[in-house]
């Protein structure tokens, strides 16, 4: 089986003059190398395709792959994560992870929360502020939490994101609107524990890989899992695999949200508990980072005793289940082994 690799490489965009924060969601050379090495260890042939522009060129030249392992984040707009999946759909090339609808829906945090709320999944009350005039109309009780509606890797999140009064809310919303040129999600601040749940599989076959609690150390920016805390997680954050009553509920909420949003193959769901200890959906990443040591999903898997090879193999196996029978991997799959242990 020939597997194409689509990705946005961080160093390529830095060379074009983008800042470190602007490329924070893109992948490092180490991540790409680790994925390719693992795919080859699974007996698969690989072909590095690159970003959307490279994919367009390769498809126009008639290139074909049995499957594309897609980790491309895209560059502009709410549909940026949908661009590669949409193009692959047009050409009839199967790929890993979210389809265009889910990729666009989940990137816009406000839209994603509307869907999970309508599906009965608990999520904090929220408002989407599209301009300065709408800030005064936010009628939620303080404290509130504000962040860009369509950024990842903690971009736009820092201690000022927690607003305790109208003045602070106005200031943070104005700053975010100006800096990121997109709406701001404002939601009720949740004071409880923070969790991230790893999920493998698709639809009814999806299951939790484990629940990881995010604990901020004294060296961290307080109260928020911020951009800086994520970038320097080795010295600012403690990750712990948990399985108490609250964690079990977090896994249940995460799976409900994952299925409601139509995620596929693998992903990560972020939750935080309210004052009563009820975990609530915050956001979802259907294209979770896959750096073996630095990304949350592989960190969680390591804590759970799941190897990086098993994780990548499980993702590929899940995607291959959408292929005709002749194109699938063997029944002795990584996903089956992980499921048996979970």
| Co-location of 164 and 184 in the same domain | yes
Which tens digits make up the pLDDT trace of 286-311? 999 999 999 999 999 999 999 999 99
Residue 295, domain CATH = 3.30.470.20
Which tens digits make up the pLDDT trace of 39-59? 999 999 999 999 999 999 999
321 occurs within a structural domain: yes
176 occurs within a structural domain: yes
105 occurs within a structural domain: no
| Domain termination site, one of 44, 79, 96 | 96
| Co-location of 180 and 210 in the same domain | no
Are β-strands 45-50 and 2-6 bridged in parallel, bridged antiparallel, or unpaired?
parallel
| Co-location of 182 and 200 in the same domain | no
Distance CA 211, CA 239 (A): 10
| pLDDT at position 230 over 50 | yes
Number of domains in the chain: 3
69 occurs within a structural domain: yes
| Domain termination site, one of 140, 172, 188 | 188
User: 65, 2 in Cβ contact below 8 A?
Assistant: yes
| Co-location of 218 and 334 in the same domain | yes
112 occurs within a structural domain: no
Residue 30, domain CATH = 3.40.50.20
Which residue segment(s) compose the domain that 71 sits in? 2-96
| Domain termination site, one of 158, 188, 218 | 188
| Co-location of 169 and 231 in the same domain | no
| pLDDT at position 337 over 70 | no
Average pLDDT over residues 274-289: 97
| Co-location of 33 and 165 in the same domain | no
| pLDDT at position 102 over 50 | yes
| Co-location of 272 and 322 in the same domain | yes
- pTM for this prediction: 0.93
| pLDDT at position 213 over 80 | yes
| Co-location of 271 and 303 in the same domain | yes
| Co-location of 263 and 162 in the same domain | no
16-20, 160-164, 222-226: lowest mean pLDDT where? 222-226
| Co-location of 145 and 227 in the same domain | no
Average pLDDT over residues 170-186: 97
| Co-location of 263 and 199 in the same domain | yes
């Amino acid at each position: 089986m020939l597997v194409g690799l689509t990705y946005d490489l961080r160093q390529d965009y830095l060379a074009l003059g983008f800042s470190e924060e602007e490329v924070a969601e893109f992948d490092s050379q180490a991540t790409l190398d680790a994925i390719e090495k693992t795919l080859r260890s699974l007996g698969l042939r690989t072909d590095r395709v690159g970003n959307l522009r490279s994919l367009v060129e390769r498809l126009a030249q008639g290139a074909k792959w049995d499957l594309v392992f897609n980790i491309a984040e895209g560059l502009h707009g709410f549909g940026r994560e949908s661009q590669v999946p949409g193009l692959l759909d047009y050409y009839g090339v199967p790929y890993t992870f979210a389809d265009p609808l889910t990729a666009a829906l989940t990137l816009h945090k406000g839209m994603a929360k509307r869907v999970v709320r309508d599906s009965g999944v608990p999520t904090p009350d929220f408002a989407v502020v599209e301009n300065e005039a709408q800030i005064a109309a936010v009628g939620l009780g303080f404290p509130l939490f504000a962040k860009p509606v369509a950024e990842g890797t903690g971009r736009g999140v820092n201690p000022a994101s927690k607003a305790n009064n109208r003045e602070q809310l106005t200031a943070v919303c104005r700053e975010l609107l100006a800096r990121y040129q997109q709406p701001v999600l404002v939601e009720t601040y949740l004071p409880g524990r923070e969790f991230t749940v790893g999920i493998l599989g698709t639809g009814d076959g999806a299951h939790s890989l484990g629940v990881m609690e995010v604990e901020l150390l004294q060296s961290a920016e307080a109260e928020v899992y911020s951009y800086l805390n994520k970038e320097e997680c080795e010295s600012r954050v403690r990750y712990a695999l948990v399985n108490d009553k609250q964690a079990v509920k977090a896994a249940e909420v995460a799976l409900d949200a994952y299925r409601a949003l139509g995620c596929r193959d693998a992903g990560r769901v972020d939750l935080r508990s309210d004052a009563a200890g009820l975990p609530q959906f915050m956001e979802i990443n259907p294209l979770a980072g896959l750096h073996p040591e630095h990304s949350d999903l592989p960190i969680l898997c390591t804590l759970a005793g799941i190897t990086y090879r098993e994780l990548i193999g499980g993702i590929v196996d899940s995607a291959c289940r959408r292929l005709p029978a002749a194109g699938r991997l063997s029944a002795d799959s990584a996903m089956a082994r992980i499921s048996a242990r979970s």
